[in-house]
Amino acid sequence: MEHQNPSEVTFHHEPGGKEVVQKIIKTTVILSVITLIELALGFGIYFLHKTPDPSAALILFMKGVIVILSLLKAFYIVGVFMHLGDEIRNLIMTIVVPLLLFIWFIAAFLWDGDSWKMLRNTEGLSKPATEQSKPHLPATQGH
């Protein structure tokens, strides 16, 4: 680490030129290819919907693959383009660990939306308001 100026302590400078540009080009190609695969899967879902009896499990699987590919894209953008991968481990952890909250955040709220739909479709919202105040046992059995 150079200490040219005491007010700016130890900012590192990226070494060399060529290999960095090569890494950028490689990451660009990876991001483009992932996007093309996502689009291909998107079109796959579109044409599956057009068939008379589309398999819900297959569509869900394809959507899952698209989600994983998007997370991979996020990893490359943050790790390479934003250079988070080059930072000190402690710094990376102060960014990444709070983001783990998203695991609960996504699971809890999508679950809540699903339960809302169940109530909408069963006794919860379809009965008159006077009957809603009764404790409804079947709803507690479900997930």
Partner 1 sequence: MSTASVAQVETKWWTGGKSPFNVEYGKLMMWYFLMSDAFTFGAFLISYGTIRFSQNYWPDPNEVFNAFPFAGHANLPLAFVSLMTFILIVSSVTMVLAVHAGHHNDRKGVIKWMIWTIVGGAAFLGCQAWEWTHLITGDHAVLLNGKLEHIGTTVSRNPWGAAMPGMMHDGHPVSTTGPVAFGGYFFGITGFHGFHVFSGVIINIIMLIMTMNGTFDRRGHYLMIEKAGLYWHFVDLVWVFVFLCFYLI
Distance CA 86, CA 136 (A): 55
Residues between 88 and 117 with contacts to partner 1, criterion CB under 8 A:
88, 90-91, 94-95, 98-99, 101-102, 105-106, 109-110, 112-114, 116-117
Report residue 131 as tokens: 């009957």
Q: What is the DSSP string of 67-109?
A: HHHHHHHHHHIIIIIS-GGGS-HHHHHHHHHHHTHHHHHHHHH
Among residues 71, 61, 60, which one has the least CA distance to residue 103?
71
Look up residue 28 and give its amino acid.
T
Q: Is residue 5 a contact residue for partner 1 (CB under 8 A)?
A: yes
In order of 9, 35, 78, 86, 96, the CA distances from 82 in angstroms are 21, 19, 5, 9, 14
For residue 133, the minimal CB distance to partner 1 (Å) is 21
Residues between 38 and 97 with contacts to partner 1, criterion CB under 8 A:
38-39, 41-43, 45-46, 49, 63, 66-67, 70, 73-74, 77-78, 81-82, 84, 87-88, 90-91, 94-95
Return the range that interacts with partner 1 (CB under 8 A); candidates 27-35, 126-134, 135-143.
27-35
* ∠ Cα 16 19 25 (to 5°): 135
For residue 117, the minimal CB distance to partner 1 (Å) is 5
Binding footprint of partner 1 on the chain (CB under 8 A): 1, 5, 8-14, 17, 20-21, 24, 28, 31-32, 35, 38-39, 41-43, 45-46, 49, 63, 66-67, 70, 73-74, 77-78, 81-82, 84, 87-88, 90-91, 94-95, 98-99, 101-102, 105-106, 109-110, 112-114, 116-117, 120-121
